[in-house]
Structure 1
Amino acid sequence: MARKSSYVTEADNKMDKTVQHYKEELRKLRTGRPSASLFEELVVDYYGAPTPINQTATVNVGEDRSVSIQPWDKSLLEKIEKTINSSDLGLHAINDGTVVRVNFPSPTVEDRRKWVKHAKDMMEDTKIALRNIRRDDIKKVKELKENGDIPEDEAKKIEEEIQEVLKNHEAKSEEIFHQKEKEIMES
């Protein structure tokens, strides 16, 4: 019986990490609201080392649909401005000599639909990754059954439990998507 739970637990853990990764990637997806997490992926040359903007500056989200980025080293102002302006975020940064300001224009309905579609595509990729985990883990169980390491009825039960774990994680990823969709369409 201990084997059964270890295979199911292993699948559950891998699927949890996959869903968590999806959730983290969605945090970086642009919505109509300003978000400091958008700047986590953007890097600037900081004394010869490519460094994320949020590790070189204070990033503050303002009430007026803007973000202000105040670098700890003033020499980075221009680099941060150029990095943001050349990124694929579609944002325009302005350097005022002390901070870099990024205004978030109100998104069009077309923009919102595009972001929702991207989030849905990411969800589908997550589901594919979850199914691949299920396939690989069930394959291991079948090999154990064929080698006589576990009885057929136990293998069947493990496969059913792994399938149930998959369904739960697919439902979680759909719930996360629907929350993000709502956030995008309401912002």
Structure 2
Amino acid sequence: MKLADAETSMQKAVEATQRAFNTIRTGRANASLLDRVQVEYYGTPTPLKSLANINTPDASTIMIQPYDKTSLNQIEKAISLSDIGLTPSNDGQLIRLNIPPLTSDRRKEFVKMAAKFAEEGKVSVRNVRRDAVDSVRKQEKNSEISEDEAKDLQDQIQKLTDKYTAKIDELLAEKEKDITTV
């Protein structure tokens, strides 16, 4: 495994963590809350965003306008069964989701969820580090690189790991601030 490959993999772990953070409610309407919602459409689980136009007309409302009006009830059911904790209101043309202000208990729950996502991201980064270090040790064992080169590469891999775990910590701090701001 090359150093550039390790860095790319670590960057992808950070991006995945950011996407996970986007699915956590902060008390403001955000279309990315619905990213994980899958709708049973003609017997196939389909991402909601590929079945409907999703927009936020104001800070406390998400509007979902299906491209196919017959899928309205399936979309409503999928949102009700999802873990986002919002109740859809269907007027026959579109679905509205009203985002209620978060209670302090709910905010604490979301902060814990964000911390869990951050830890998963850090584990991914550390797994990349482990694979890269194993690769370096294998190269050293096969006499492809010297002991000094192996040591230098391992130090560089550790610096990358520290850099990307720090990025995840920054994202977490930002998300916690978003969640706890009333």
TM superposition score category, shorter chain reference: over 0.9
1:154 is paired with a residue of what secondary structure?
helix
Q: Provide TM-score, normalisation by structure 2.
A: 0.93
Which has the larger displacement, 101-110 or 59-68?
A: 59-68
Tell me the equivalent position of 1:186.
Answer: 181
Aligned counterparts, 1:31-180, within 5 A: 31-63=26-58, 65-180=60-175
Asked whether the equivalents of residues 71 and 77 of structure 1 are also in contact (C-alpha less than 8 Å), the reply is: yes
- For 1:147 and 1:64, the matched residues in 2 are separated by 59
Instruction: Please tell me the residue identity of whatever aligns with 2:94.
Output: V
- For 2:42 and 2:134, the matched residues in 1 are separated by 49
Tell me the equivalent position of 1:13.
Answer: 8
Distance 1:64 1:133, change over 3 A: closer
The aligned length equals 182
- For 1:177 and 1:16, the matched residues in 2 are separated by 15
1:50 is paired with a residue of what secondary structure?
strand
**Runs of 4+ in structure 1 displaced over 4 angstroms?**
none
RMSD over aligned Cα, in angstroms?
1.5
Identity fraction in percent: 38
- For 2:171 and 2:139, the matched residues in 1 are separated by 35
Instruction: Please tell me the residue identity of whatever aligns with 1:149.
Output: E
- For 1:43 and 1:29, the matched residues in 2 are separated by 16
Deviations 1:3-48 (A, max 9, x none): xxx7221211111111111111111122211111122221223334
Which residues of structure 2 form unaligned runs of 5+? none
Asked whether the equivalents of residues 41 and 74 of structure 2 are also in contact (C-alpha less than 8 Å), the reply is: no
Instruction: Please tell me the residue identity of whatever aligns with 2:44.
Output: A
1:67 is paired with a residue of what secondary structure?
strand
- For 1:154 and 1:78, the matched residues in 2 are separated by 61
- For 1:64 and 1:133, the matched residues in 2 are separated by 39
